[in-house]
Structure 1
Amino acid sequence: MGVLNVKELKAYYKTDIYGVSRTVQAVDGISLEIHENEIFGIAGESSCGKTTLIKALSGTIRPPLTVMGGEVVYNFEDRSVNILSLRPDELRKISWEKISYILQGSMSVLNPVRKIHKTFYDFFEAHRKIENQQDFMKQMRDHLGKLGLPADVLKSYPHQLSGGMRQRVTIALATIFKPNVIIADEPTTALDVVVQRGVLQLLREIQQEQKNTVILVTHDMAVHANIADRVGIMYAGRIVEDAQVDDIFENPIHPYTKHLINSLPMIGDKSYKGSIPGAPPNLADPPKGCRFHPRCPYVMGICREEVPPMVNVESERGPRRVACFQISKEGDNGKS
């Protein structure tokens, strides 16, 4: 049993404006098992449902987002909880201490008119009582020092820090209580490659030290190649393949994953990189059957009519699943 088990999760955006109802099937029937002490990457092109998925995983469901079905069960040392069934006060008790969140863009987390030590104070006091101010400040300095940040950062305003330092501060906030699970939403967005590498290295070091689980969401496959242990590939609201990161890059199976990997630039490779034909479907009116079939070069009749189930595929590296009718047709040792 993993630290997180997702079963048939459906999360839709439902709106009714001027009498016109619209339902966007942003997450539609996703099942996942994420293990302790691993970095699980979630990849896919824009508007595939990545951000909606992590909203559901963190329990931050706000209208017009509505959970239509399924479970998101966290298995902590002392108990198991379906985060979708928790009351707001119950969710508040496990947020940040059991499940923390590194948001996209540091300035959406840090208050621009409060110094960093004030932000830490507000954040800490919201979850635990501060008995001694001096002990608290020493704890903050020690924590920042472990993350490679000088103590005088605490006296700075967010705008006085570089983008990389601000992102390190948000990581410090997310890890101060040593949570079981850290959900990171595009943590390296808008950072240059040198700073990006430092942030990723920091995430990996924290994960190895604290032995927690990191769910890393980004469209950047290079980031997953550098840090993830396993990767789930999303397309149009569904997971189409998940496997060890080396399997994904060395031997992609699903046609969408193949296109995704083959489009990446490689040193010394001067061959033409073609884009995936067509465009992603409108999730307010998705195609019947496999949602990738209008763009798939291997499409069969069954692909247009039925949703392909996730099947297990043999791999020496570890568990691997793919949702494609082509697997059973080619006899790739798939089994339901």
Structure 2
Amino acid sequence: MATTTARLLQLLGLLQAQAVWSGDELADRLGVTPRSVRRDVDRLRELGYPVQSSRGLGGGYQLGAGRALPPLLLDQDEAVAVAVCLRLAAGGTVAGVGEAALRTLAKLDQVMPAAIRAHVAAVQEATVTVEYQAATVDSDALLVLARAIRERHQGRFDYTAKDGAATSRRVEPYRLIATGRRWYLMAFDLDRDDWRSFRLDRMSEVRASTFGFTPRPAPDAETFIRRSVSSGWEYEATVRVRCAIDEVRDRVGGWGTLTAVDDAHCELRVGAHDLDMLAWWLLRLPADFEVLDNEELVAAYRRLAVRAGRIADGGGEADAG
């Protein structure tokens, strides 16, 4: 009986994790025969859980809508992951989520076993959330797009571009990407017949269509967003860094293009919308560098040098005249 109960709970967890499962997939995950899966599904239905089944291509088992919903089943790793995400959400970029995240954390703490609660508490005590200025997005829009991605339904929304131009877009949504400061949607734009990235804070009237779509071959989401974000910089510069390329690769990540010059030098092509922010960001590199092609950036460093010198001398104001 204990084994059967444990398997039923595991089955419920699987049905929560994915929209549709075939009988063979569930049997493989549970380590039983398809016939045992059918019996377990019948047991769940007897207990009031709305498990639906369908035949044919794309068919299988799924949790349906109904009054009797399954309990939230979390193992130790999942509980810790949820707690960390909720802690980040409490000080994050989704409008209206902070208070709800804290309430959810409190409820989660009440129902978790003592051993798991101790692990979650350790993570919470060791974590500090530092707020910074970031573009907030509407939580309803985020959920609508996430659901459309999961159910493979087209999405529609009004969009305001950087230059203020307003358009209505029809897309096949594929991925949501959070960069820390902003949320982006990677989608196939049906009217432009091409892949596009959209900032969620520039969207309005976000809604899911009833039209489904068949997923097409898609580019890597992280690489696509990095390239899209960096393609419209107001300021760009190339700097020659006095160290080997491997010494700065991790610092640069995907936010610039590195090229090896020799064993002791490399060049970095990078951009930003704010010149001073670009100057400060480059100062994080672990070696000195030379600006090769942007005099405005050189002038920005001169301004920063004057300010830094003034601060180093005691923070006094510069002499008038």
With the shorter chain as reference, the TM-score category is: under 0.3
Answer 1 or 2: which has greater helix percent.
2
TM-score, length-scaled by structure 2: 0.25
The higher radius of gyration belongs to 2
TM-score, length-scaled by structure 1: 0.24
